[in-house]
């Protein structure tokens, strides 16, 4: 994933797909759910290698 996309991927309606092939809501909704549960999500990417999402959620018990 190109670096210029990384700071926008959690924004609602942000997509790099063609029209009618995505709403750009998936990562925004995921981000909201994770934050609502007290967690965090980070992304790192290297072109030609891949993209990694790290999700951290607190333990409750």
pLDDT of 60 > 60? The answer is yes
Q: What CA–CA distance (Å, rounded) separates 29 from 45? A: 20
Helix (H) or strand (E) holding 6: helix 3-6
Q: State the pLDDT at residue 26.
A: 92
- The mean per-residue pLDDT over the stretch 4-21 comes to 87
Q: Which pair of structure tokens corresponds to residue 59?
A: 């333990």
Q: Is the pLDDT of residue 61 over 70?
A: no
Q: Where are the domains of the chain?
A: 3-56
Q: What is the pLDDT of residues 38-55, one digit of tens each?
A: 999 999 999 999 999 999
Whole-model pTM: value is 0.81
Percent with pLDDT over 90 in the chain? 67
- DSSP three-state, residue 27: helix
- Correct CATH for 3-56 of 3.40.630.40, 3.30.565.10, 3.40.1380.10, 3.30.230.10: 3.30.565.10
């Amino acid at each position: 994933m190109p670096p210029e996309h990384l700071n926008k991927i959690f924004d609602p309606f942000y997509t790099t797909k063609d029209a009618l092939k995505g709403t750009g809501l998936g990562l925004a909704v995921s981000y909201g759910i994770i934050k609502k549960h007290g967690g965090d999500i980070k992304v790192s990417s290297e072109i030609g290698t891949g993209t990694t999402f790290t999700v951290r959620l607190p333990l409750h018990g």
